[in-house]
């Protein structure tokens, strides 16, 4: 049953914390500029924030253990009706690079931790959005308008525990499915190993026979909790075909904000360890030419699964 929370006030930050939250916002905006060669628009920025809030599996919010965020309302001064951002508006986001989602996830995780330190309590999702927009309006008044109210619409779905080794069936067409396996759950999201092709549900019993994609993908578990994606088996023995702590990759352009990034880019594991990529690795992964993608919204991953499976045959 849906409910509406009260309007949420921003958390008051000191100057140091304000600058830190602004730095996280700066990195998101810089990545957006690099990806699309233009400034982000305010609705796009809010949709991006909603997307990473709604896709997170990390316990960074006080209300995310039992409540799944599925819509945010923003009320602007003199507006008759609030603007609503939900999973349908997220599909209107332009095709963004992986770097944008990595920066937005850093905003999510580090920003929530910052607010927890400042207030002495774990923040809610709408508190993080409200505080970010309040700080953003001070530094980017032409991009972020003054917001008079932030409300999160929430619902309590049936509890669907997701475990490493779970096999997930994603509906394809004509009664067939794409198959994923959960290989890790960490601060980057839920990492899936991908099996290529459309298959009947019975194929979940013999996944080792199916062609696999070499690169792990990160996404969220929202469509599992919503019931669209189904956990159909638990096969930890299949995990031997995939890395237990999948890396994500950073383009060399990020060296301007992080000196740890190598000249050809870098790989990072969930514990924060970073190693430089060789020229050959960067070329093979698509980091050199910007074609690399690894983090997807759930709906976007469905599209990619169809494309990858079509390329197979």
Among 58-62, 209-213, 234-238, where is mean pLDDT lowest? Answer: 58-62
Stronger pLDDT, 74 or 167, i.e. the higher one: 167
Residue 178 pLDDT = 92
* Residue 149 CB contacts under 8 Å (≥ 6 apart), including other chains: 7, 8, 73, 74, 75, 82
Q: Please indicate whether residue 307 or residue 227 has the higher confidence score (pLDDT).
A: 307
- Confidence class for position 3, pLDDT limits 50, 70, 90: very low
Compute the average pLDDT of residues 124-136: 84
What pLDDT score was predicted for residue 96?
73
Task: Please write the tens of the pLDDT for every residue from 146-160.
Answer: 887 777 665 555 566
Nearest to 198, CA basis, from 186, 210, 206: 210
In terms of pTM, does the model score above 0.95? no
Confidence class of residue 68 from pLDDT cuts 50, 70 and 90? very low
pLDDT exceeds cutoff 70 at 60: no
Alpha-carbon span 104 to 116, nearest angstrom: 18
Q: Per-residue pLDDT tens for 163-188?
A: 999 999 898 876 688 999 999 998 88
Two structure tokens written together for 194: 């991908």
Closest CA to 131 of 41, 22, 30, 54: 22
- pLDDT at position 155 is 53
In whole angstroms, what separates CA 144 from the centre of its chain?
Answer: 22
Nearest Cα residue to 101 out of 38, 42, 150, 35: 35
Cα–Cα separations (whole angstroms), residue 108 to 17, 104, 191, 200, 287 = 15, 6, 18, 38, 24
Give me the pLDDT at residue 98, please.
Answer: 67
State the pLDDT at residue 167.
Answer: 92
Is 58's pLDDT higher than 70? no
Question: What whole-number distance in Å separates Cα of residue 101 and Cα of residue 295?
Answer: 7
User: Considering the chain, what percentage of its residues have pLDDT values greater than 70?
Assistant: 83
Residue 59: strand, helix, or coil = coil
């Amino acid at each position: 049953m849906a409910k509406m929370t009260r309007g949420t006030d921003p958390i008051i930050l000191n100057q140091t914390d304000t600058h830190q939250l602004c730095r996280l916002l700066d990195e998101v905006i810089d990545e957006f500029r690099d990806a699309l060669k233009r400034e982000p628009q305010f609705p796009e920025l809010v949709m991006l924030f909603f997307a990473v809030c709604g896709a997170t599996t990390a316990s960074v919010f006080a209300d995310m253990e039992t409540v799944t965020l599925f819509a945010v309302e923003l009320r602007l001064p003199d507006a008759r009706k609030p603007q609503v951002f939900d999973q349908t508006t997220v599909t209107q986001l332009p095709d963004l690079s992986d770097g944008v989602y990595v920066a937005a996830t850093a905003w999510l995780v580090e920003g929530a931790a910052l607010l927890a330190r400042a207030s002495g309590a774990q923040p809610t999702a709408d508190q993080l959005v409200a505080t970010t927009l309040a700080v953003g309006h001070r530094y980017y008044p032409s991009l972020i308008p003054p917001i008079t109210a932030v409300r999160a619409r929430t619902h309590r779905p049936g509890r669907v525990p997701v475990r490493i080794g779970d096999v997930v069936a994603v509906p394809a067409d004509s009664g067939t499915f794409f198959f994923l396996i959960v290989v890790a759950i960490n601060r980057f999201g839920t990492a899936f190993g991908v099996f290529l092709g459309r298959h009947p549900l019975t194929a979940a019993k013999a996944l080792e026979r199916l062609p696999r994609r070499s690169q792990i993908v990160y996404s969220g578990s929202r469509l599992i909790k919503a019931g669209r994606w189904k956990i159909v088996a638990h096969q930890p023995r299949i995990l031997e075909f995939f890395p237990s702590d999948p890396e994500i990759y950073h383009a060399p352009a990020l060296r301007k904000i992080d000196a740890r990034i190598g000249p050809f880019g870098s790989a990072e594991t969930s514990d924060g360890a970073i190693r430089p990529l060789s020229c050959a690795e960067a070329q093979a992964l698509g980091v050199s030419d910007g074609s690399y993608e690894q983090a997807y919204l759930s709906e976007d991953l469905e599209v990619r699964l169809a494309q990858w499976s079509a390329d197979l045959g």
